[in-house]
Structure 1
Amino acid sequence: MRVRFKVKHIVLYVLLPLLLISSTAYVLMMPQVSSWLHGRTNQSLAEQRSELLEDLAKASAPERINIIREKVIGSGSSYTPFAFDVYIGSNSSQWGDSSESDSPLKPTERIDLLNEYITQSVPGYELEEASQQLVFLYDSLGQQKQADQALQQAMAKFPTPSEQRSQLAVLQANRLLNEGDQDRAKQAFEKIHPETLDENTNLKAEWALLHARLLYIDHKADQALVVLTDAIKELKENSSSSGSDPANVSGYTPLIRMQQTIQAAIQHHEYAAGTVQGTLKHSDGTPVAGAGIFLIAEGDLNSYSSNASDSGPYHTMTDAQGRYAFHAVMPGFYQLRLGLSFQQVDGWTWQIPADPWIHVNQGKQLQQNLILQPLIQLKQPVNDQIITDDRITFSWQPVQGAAYYELEGGIQLPKGSSRSVVKGNIRTPSTTITAEELYRMSMGFSYGSSGNFESVVPESILSFMNPNVRLSWNVIAYDSNGQLISQSNGYRLTRESMGSLPFFYLKNRTLTTADRILLDKKPEDALAAYREALAANPQDVHALRMLTRMLSTRQSIMENTADNDEYIELMQRLLLLSPSSQDASVLTDYYYRQQDWTAYNKYLELYLTLSDKEVTGNKTALSSYERSTYAVALMGQNKLQEADRQFKLAMQQDPDHRFVGSYIANRLYMDRTLESALTLAEQYPQHESEQTAYFWTNLLQDMQAERTHYSNSDLYDQELQQKLGWYVQGKEDRLKQWTSHPTTHTPILQKFMKALLEVR
C-alpha cells in the first residue's frame, strides 16, 4: 500500500557510494572517498609523513614548536574532534566533512608531538587547541587517565582566572561526568571562573549546560531550571542588542533542549539520571575500537552537524574492546548514531534495531550492544548485465539467521537515484519476477527548482520502463522477528569488499513515440501523445499506465485536482487490464481519504490479494501504516472493538506510534474514561519531531485537571463524547469549524480535538 510520508525522517539512501573498479584505476562517486582511496593507492600520506618527520628531525627546538603548530595542530578550522568519514543513524546516513584519517601521522606520533608542544610552548590559543586534540586522541585509544593528566598539565600553564583555563576545565568536567565520576566532575567544575566566559557565548552556554546537569544529578532540578532560564535570557538579550537571531547561536538550541528535558522530568517526577552503555562489535565478535558513539536526544535527531558540541552532551569513543558508556544521562528518549572511518565501514553495515528508541528513566542502567554485519554479496544480475528476457532472476549469498528477504529496485536519474520495494517476504536467497512486474512499479517523481510540470524529470516517471536507464537493486535480510540483519547496499570501497556491482539494464521493450517526447522534456506534449495512443488502442497498457502517472505527477506538482475524476477512472481501467498491488493501494488510499468505506473495502481486499497479505493469519502482515489506516477505517465504520485491536497491533509494529492519537480517541469514545486513554498515551509515546514524546500524556493530564475544575463534570463528559463522535464518524469539517473558534470554557478539550485532526 502506498505510504504518504510526513517530513519527519529524512532518509538518505547511499545507493552509490560504490567504487567502479577497472584494471588500471579507481573511479569514485564521492570526493571524500576518492581522497581516502588516493591516499591508499599512491601512498601520498606515507610520503607526507616521511617528509614531516624528516623536517622535525632536522629542526632546532624553537623550529620544532613552529612546525608542530603549523603542521600537526593546524588552524582551528581544520580540526574538529569527533569528526568522522561517515555518520550512520537509524533514519539517515551522512558523509563527514573531515577525518582523522587525513593526518599522515600515526596517533602515537601525534600524541608525542602534541605533548611536546604543551610542555614547551607558551599559553595561547594553539596550546588550548593542542590540549583538546591530545585529549581526543587519548580517549580514542581508551587512555582516559593519560587524557586527564594532559588536561591538568595544560590547565596549569594558563593563568588563573583565564578563558582558556575555564575552557579546558569545562572539557574536563564534562568528560568526568560522562565517565560517571560525579565527585571529580564537581571538583573540576569548581575550577571554572564564570566571569572569564562573558566574551565567549558558546562557552558560556556549555558552562550553563554542565552546571544544570550537575545540579540535576544532585537532586536540585529546580535550581537547574533557574540556571538554564538565566542563560537563555542572557543569550537572547545579547542577541537582541547585536541585532542577531539567538537561534543562530550554536549554544542556544542545546540550552532550550535541556530546559525542556528538565521541565518534562519534573512534570513526570523523574529525578535520577541514567546510564547507557554497551559494545560495538563485528558479527564475528571482533571489537570496533575508536568508533564514535553519539547518544542523540529525540528533538535533535533531524539535525546534523559534524561538530560534536552541536549534537548534545553525549558523545564518546569505543575503547580497544569496543566498549562505550554514557553516564549521567538525563531522562528522555534517545537514539544512537555511529561515527566511523572509511576503513571501519568498508564492507559492513550497522544492524539497526527494529525499535531504535532508548528510554532513559528512573535512573536505569541500559545495555545497548551494537553489531556491524557484513554486506550481502550479490550473484545476479550484476555488473551492468543486459537482460532482454521477460523474466529476471535475482540471487544473492544466503545470510545466516535470515527468515526472509526484501528486494528493492532502483533507477539512476540524471541527478541522484531512486528506489522502492519490489517484492517482500522472499523465503529463499533468490527470486524471479517478470518484466511486467517491474514496469508496474512507480518510483515517484522528481522535478526541477522551477516547480512546474515542465521541469519534471522524465526518467523518474518512465522508471523501469526506460530501456536506456541503468537499474540497480538491493536485498535486505530480516530475522523471524522482523529485525534487519544486513543488506547488500552500503559502503564498498576496496577490491576486497567490492564484490559484484548491483547494476543491470532491462532491454525487452522499445520506447514509444510518446516516451521519446517525454524524454525530450516535453511533458504536456507527451501527455497528449499518450492520450492519442490510448484512444487508438484502449488495450494499450503502457499508454494507460503512463497517462495515470503523468496526471498524478501534474496534480502533485501543480496542486491541481481538476483531472482527478479522469485519473481515478483510468486507474480503475488499469487495474482491470494489469492488476498490481501498488495501483490497488493507490485506490485504497484514495477512497480512505474520501471516507467511501464501500469502495475502500473493495480495493483493500484487492490489494491484500495482489500483495499476498492479510489482516490476520500466516501471510505477510500489513505494515504499521497500512494497519493504522485500516484501524481508522474500521473506526469510521463504527467497528470500534476491531479498530481497537488493530490499533494495538499497529502500535506494536510502529516504534514511533504515529497513530496513537487515533487509538486514544477510539478507546476514549468506547470507554468514556480519561484514565484508560492516559494509560495508552503512557504506554505508546508518539515520537514526532514537532512535539515531545509526552505530548498526549501531558494533554490528557491537562484534560483531567480541566474536567476537575469544570462547573459540571457530567456536562464536560457529554461535550467530550460529542466531539469524539464527530471525529470517530469522520465529521472533520464540523470539527474543524468548532476548533477554529477558540473557547474559554474548555480550551484543553479543544486543543485535544485539534491535535486529533493532525494525526495522519
Structure 2
Amino acid sequence: MKVRMKRKHLLYGIISFFIISIMVVVLVVPALKEYKVERMIANGDPNAGQAIIELIDSANTTSRKIRLIEDFVLSSMSRSEHAVYIGPNLTSRIDSPWIEFDSKQRENIMIYYFTHSSPNNNWRYIEALDQYASIISEEKGIDEAIAFVKQKNEELYPNGYDVYSEPWTLKLPELYLKQGDFHKAKEELVAIHEYEKRRVKEKDFKYNPSWQWMTYMLRILAKEGELDEAYDLIDHWVKDEREQRIEYFGENEMEFVEWIDHTVMEWKSIISQASVGNGNEKGVLTGLIKREDGTPMQGVYVYLHDASSQTKHIPVPETDNHAITDDKGEFVFENINTGSYQIGLGLELYHIDGYNLSYDQRQVVFVNPDQEADVTIEFTKIIDLFHPVNGEAIDKEEMNFQWEQVGGADYYHIYLGVKHDGVVMNFFYDDVKTNNVVIGKEEWKERLITSITVEDDTYYPDLDYYKKLISGDVEFSWSVSAYQDDGSHLSSSHGYRLSKETIGNLPTFSFELEKTKADELFLKGKLKGAYELYKADYAADNNNVYALAMQTMLTPHVVDGNVGSEMYGAALKELALTTKEPHTYMNVLDYLRRQEDLDGYKEWFHLYEELLTKKNQSVDMYEANRYAKILFCLGDMDEARKWFHYLDKDTLSHYYVGDVLAFELYNGIDKQNVMEIAKTYKENYGEHKDWESLLESITYDADMKHFIEVYFGQGWEQAEELLPTITSKHNKAFLRQIIE
C-alpha cells in the first residue's frame, strides 16, 4: 500500500519539529540545568558555586539572570555573621548548604544585579545591598563599605532612610561600630531615631525604637561607661512599649511582663558584656588557634564572654569584644578588664571542614592585673570510620566495628543510633580500649532491645518500633569519640565533611536479626502467642535476656492491658535485676513514680545508685532531680537538699537551677542568701535564665509556697494551672521561669 504525504503535511511536521526543538532548548534544557545545580547544592558539592556562575552566564534573558542571582547567590549570602559559632554553652550553625564563590565573580554578579534590577518595592534589592556592604567590609575594608553605604543612601533615600528595611537602615551605625568609631555610630543612631519620631508623628503613631536599634545604642553607652544612661534607656523603652502594646493590642499587664522579661534580661547581659574593658585594673590575653598538625587557623573570630554572666548570646563582630586570628593563628586582647572569661569562636565552614574542636568550651580563662594570660585552642581531625559503613547490610554472626586509631587515646566510646518517627535513639559501648570492637548477634540483640525503651503517649511500649527492629526495617548509625584517662576529649567521628577530601564514609548500616518462632508470631500481630513463646524461651534458658525483654515489653499489651499493673512492675524489676543495666533500673523508677509508690521508688533508687557506683558511673541528672522531689514529698529535706545540689556547679547541662532556688526558698533560706546560691550556678544550658534579677523583686508568700509544693509533688503542668492565681507579677515571672 502506498502512503502519500502532502507537502503541507510535511511542512507542518517540520515546523512542529522546530517549535518543539526551540521549546526544549528554551524551557526544558534550562530547567534541567537548574535542577542539576539544586542537587549539587543539596548534596554539598564543592563545585556548586562554579556551576551557579555558569548557569547565570548561560541565561538568555536579563530577567532570568536576575531571578537566578536572587535564587542562588543572594539566598546563599543571606545568613548569620558566622557559618558556625561555638561558645561557652551554645553552638549555632547555618542551615543552608555551603556555597563558595570566587570573590571577583561574586563582585561582578552583584554589580550586574544592581545595574539591571530596580530598588522600587524590591526587598531583595535592599537585602542585596546590605549583604554586599558586608562583603566589601570583609574583603576591601570598612572604609570602602561605609563609602558604598553612603553613596547608595544618597541615591535611593536623599531625604531620609529606608525605614522598611531595618538591616540596611542600621548598616552605617553597624559599620561604624565595627570600625570602633562609637561617636559616629551614636550620631547616626540618634539621627535615625529623630527621623523616625517625625515620620510616625505625622501618621499619628507613637514611636519606640526597635530591638536592634536599642541593642546597638546600649552597647555604645556601655562602652562609653554611661551605664546609668543605658539602664534609663531600658526603663523608658519598657514604659513606652507597655503603653503601646496595651493601647494597640489590648494586652494586660501580666501578658506584657511575660513578653518583656527575656528582652530586658538579654539587654542587661549585653550591657555587662559590652562594658568589658571599662574597669581600672587591666590585663592582656593572648592565644593560638591551630589544627593538630600545627597548621595555624587564620581569620577565626575570637569573642570574650564574662564568665560570671549567665547569658552567653551569639555575638557579632560589629558590637562585641573580639579579636581575629592572623596568619600565624594568633590573637590578642589588650587592655581588657581583669577577671574571668570564657571564649567563643566565630568560624567559616572551611575552618572546620574535616575537623572538630577538642578544646573544652566551658574552660574559664583568668586575666590578672598587668599579666599576660595565654590560651591554646586546637582542632583535631575527624575520626574516619572503616566498617560498617555506607549502608552495608550485615549478614554475619558478628559485627566488627573498626575506625581510625587516634594518637594519645586511652579509650573510646561507641554511640549507636536508630531512627524512629524522626527521633534518633542512642545506646553505647563505653571504655573500648582498641580501635575496633566485635559484637556478636546475640549480644547485639540483647543490647538493642534492653538499652532503648520506646513508649507511646500512654506509656505503653511502642509495638511498631519493636516490629521494625526485629524485621530489620531500620537503618542504624554510629559514631566514635576518643578520650584520655583523665576524661579529656580528643576527637570524634562526627563533624563537618564538606569536600571530596574529607567526605569519608557514611556511618550507616543495616542488620537483620535472626528471628525466633516467637518473633514470627509477634510480627504477624499474634501477641498472646508470641508472649507465651518468649516466656517459654526464657524459662528454658535464663541467660536469654532477649526473650525476657520481649516478654516484659508485651506484658501490659496481652496479660492485663495495664502499664500500671503489679505484673508489669514485677516484669520490669526482674529484667533490671537480670540485665544489671542502668537503663532498665530507670524504667523501674519511672514505673514506681507513675504509681506514686514513693517508698518503693526510694528503695530502688538506692539499688540504682549502688549499681552505678560499681560501674564507676554517675547518677543521671534527670533521675537525681526526680529523686530530690520524691524526698521533698517524703519530708526528708536534708537528703532532698543533697540531691537538688547533686550536680557540679560548673556542669554545662544543669537544667535545674530554678528547682534548687525554689527548694531553698521553701526551706526558709533568706532571699539574699538564695541569690548568692544563684551566683554559684552560672552554667545553665538551654534556656538562659537571669535568676539573680528575677529573685531580686520577688516576695516569698503563701501562694508561692503552695505553688512549689504542687510543682514538686504533682508536676509542672499542675503547677502551671496555678499561675493565673499568683497576684504578684514578679513572683509570677520567677515561677514561670522555674516550670519552663
In which range does the TM-score fall when normalised by the shorter chain?
A: 0.5 to 0.7
Cα deviation for residue 583 of structure 1 reads 0.8
Confirm or deny that 1:207 pairs with 2:213: yes
- What whole-Å deviation, never above 9, does each CA across 1:64-90 have from its counterpart, x for those lacking one? xx9996765779974653359965766
Cα deviation for residue 393 of structure 1 reads 4.5
- For residues 509-528 of structure 1, the aligned pairs below 5 Å read 509-510=514-515, 512=517, 514=519, 517-518=522-523, 525-528=525-528
Partner AA of 2:145 in structure 1? A
- For residues 253-652 of structure 1, the aligned pairs below 5 Å read 257-262=262-267, 273-274=275-276, 282-286=291-295, 321=327, 340-341=348-349, 343-351=350-358, 353=360, 355=362, 372-384=379-391, 392-400=399-407, 402=409, 404-413=411-420, 416=422, 418-433=424-439, 434-445=443-454, 458=464, 460-462=465-467, 465-467=470-472, 469-479=474-484, 482=487, 484-507=489-512, 509-510=514-515, 512=517, 514=519, 517-518=522-523, 525-534=525-534, 536=536, 539=539, 541-549=545-553, 563-591=564-592, 596=597, 599-600=600-601, 602-604=603-605, 606-608=607-609, 613=614, 619-629=616-626, 644=641, 647-652=644-649
How far, CA to CA, are the matches of 1:140 and 1:639 in structure 2?
61
- Structure 1 partner of 2:141: 143
- Structure 2 partner of 1:4: none
Distance 1:277 1:216, change over 3 A: farther
Distance 1:346 1:473, change over 3 A: same
Q: Secondary structure at the match of 1:651?
A: coil
CA RMSD of aligned residues (A): 6.1
Partner AA of 2:575 in structure 1? L
C-alpha contact (below 8 Å) 2:208/2:240 kept by paired residues: no
How far, CA to CA, are the matches of 1:671 and 1:80 in structure 2?
55
> Of the candidates 78, 82, 87, which is equivalent to residue 79 of structure 2?
82
Distance 1:88 1:480, change over 3 A: farther
Distance 1:490 1:99, change over 3 A: closer
Distance 1:225 1:93, change over 3 A: closer
Q: Which has the larger radius of gyration?
A: 2
How far, CA to CA, are the matches of 2:730 and 2:214 in structure 1?
37
- Structure 1 partner of 2:176: 176
How far, CA to CA, are the matches of 2:210 and 2:725 in structure 1?
43
State the TM-score, normalizing by the size of structure 1.
0.66
Confirm or deny that 1:96 pairs with 2:95: yes
Amino-acid identity (%):
19
State the TM-score, normalizing by the size of structure 2.
0.67
Cα deviation for residue 173 of structure 1 reads 0.7
Partner AA of 2:380 in structure 1? Q
Cα deviation for residue 650 of structure 1 reads 0.5
- Structure 2 partner of 1:224: 233
- Structure 1 partner of 2:51: 44
Distance 1:437 1:278, change over 3 A: farther
C-alpha contact (below 8 Å) 2:427/2:452 kept by paired residues: no
C-alpha contact (below 8 Å) 2:358/2:490 kept by paired residues: yes
List gaps (5 residues or longer) in structure 1: 1-27, 360-364, 708-715
Cα deviation for residue 377 of structure 1 reads 1.6
- What whole-Å deviation, never above 9, does each CA across 1:313-340 have from its counterpart, x for those lacking one? 87999676578999999xxx99968674
How far, CA to CA, are the matches of 1:272 and 1:550 in structure 2?
59
The size of the alignment, in residue pairs, is 658
Q: Secondary structure at the match of 1:531?
A: helix
Cα deviation for residue 145 of structure 1 reads 3.3
Partner AA of 1:474 in structure 2? S
Distance 1:579 1:290, change over 3 A: same
Distance 1:596 1:339, change over 3 A: same
How far, CA to CA, are the matches of 1:402 and 1:603 in structure 2?
36
> Of the candidates 660, 667, 673, which is equivalent to residue 657 of structure 2?
660
- What whole-Å deviation, never above 9, does each CA across 1:468-519 have from its counterpart, x for those lacking one? 543321112345565544321334344432434433444552254555654x
Cα deviation for residue 582 of structure 1 reads 1.6
How far, CA to CA, are the matches of 2:468 and 2:452 in structure 1?
6
C-alpha contact (below 8 Å) 2:556/2:568 kept by paired residues: yes
Cα deviation for residue 731 of structure 1 reads 6.3
Partner AA of 1:37 in structure 2? D
Confirm or deny that 1:131 pairs with 2:133: no
Cα deviation for residue 410 of structure 1 reads 1.6
Q: Secondary structure at the match of 1:422?
A: strand
Distance 1:197 1:624, change over 3 A: farther
Distance 1:640 1:546, change over 3 A: same
Cα deviation for residue 99 of structure 1 reads 5.4
User: Quick check: 644-653 or 270-279, which moved more?
Assistant: 270-279
Q: Secondary structure at the match of 1:497?
A: coil
